[in-house]
């Protein structure tokens, strides 16, 4: 058999590895029954489902009708920018507050794309900041600094 679609093959393999890992780890907890689920029941079946989806995608990549698609060379700059933006968000949140951290996160991760433009990124950053504020601060009542430390009362 020939791997015709390398992207789907890699994605299917990744889904299967993650699914098997979570299903295995869930067996360390009490399973229970469908009527009275234990702490391991839901993660186990999600792992099984993820493994099945991965197998389906992997087998599809081997079919004769699969689109031939190669995995492009690994782009370390993009991976580095996105990872650094998430780390920087975690570093900035306690001192610079939620608003600044979200804007930095969105702009830094968006700059990794070849389709980056300032106007679209600004709209995205504002929409994300407003929606996460509504969900986490107003909806879930989580408490974390909203503004930089020098602007807080």
The reported pLDDT for the residue numbered 98 is 87
Residue 115 scores a pLDDT above 90: no
Region 24-37: mean pLDDT is 91
Measured CA distances, 109 to 1, 31, 57, 84 (Å): 38, 39, 28, 8
Residue 39 belongs to some domain of the structure: yes
The reported pLDDT for the residue numbered 81 is 93
The boundaries of the domain holding residue 132 are: 76-151
The reported pLDDT for the residue numbered 23 is 96
- Of 36, 62, 88, which residue sits at a domain end? 62
Rounded to whole angstroms, the Cα distance separating 94 from 144 reads: 7
Residue 68 belongs to some domain of the structure: no
146 contacts: CB under 8 Å, gap ≥ 6: 97, 98, 99, 133, 137
Look-up: residue for tokens 């389709």? Answer: 115
Region 95-106: mean pLDDT is 91
Residues 128, 87 share a domain: yes
Average pLDDT of the chain to the nearest whole number = 90
Residue 69 belongs to some domain of the structure: no
Residue 153 scores a pLDDT above 70: no
Which tops the pLDDT comparison, 68 or 101?
A: 101
Q: What is the pTM of this model?
A: 0.61
Region 56-60: mean pLDDT is 92
**Range scoring the smallest mean pLDDT among 3-7, 78-82, 130-134:** 3-7
Residue 67 belongs to some domain of the structure: no
Residues 80, 130 share a domain: yes
* Count of beta carbons in the 10 Å neighbourhood of residue 103: 19
Look-up: residue for tokens 């610079």? Answer: 96
pLDDT confidence tier of residue 5, bands split at 50, 70 and 90: confident
Rounded to whole angstroms, the Cα distance separating 131 from 92 reads: 19
Look-up: residue for tokens 């081997």? Answer: 62
Helices and strands, counts by H and E, the chain: 4, 0
């Amino acid at each position: 058999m020939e791997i015709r679609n390398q992207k789907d093959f890699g994605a299917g393999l990744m889904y299967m590895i993650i699914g098997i890992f979570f299903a295995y780890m869930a067996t360390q907890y009490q399973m229970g029954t469908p009527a009275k689920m234990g702490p391991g029941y839901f993660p186990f079946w999600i792992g099984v489902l993820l493994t099945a989806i991965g197998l389906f995608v992997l087998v599809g990549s081997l079919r004769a009708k699969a689109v031939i698609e190669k995995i492009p060379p690994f782009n370390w700059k993009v991976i580095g920018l996105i990872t650094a933006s998430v780390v920087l968000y975690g570093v900035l949140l306690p001192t610079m507050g939620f608003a600044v951290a979200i804007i930095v996160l969105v702009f830094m991760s968006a700059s990794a794309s070849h389709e980056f433009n300032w106007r679209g990124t600004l709209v995205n950053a504002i929409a994300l900041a407003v929606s996460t504020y509504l969900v986490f601060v107003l909806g879930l009542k989580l408490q974390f600094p909203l503004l930089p430390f020098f602007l807080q009362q």
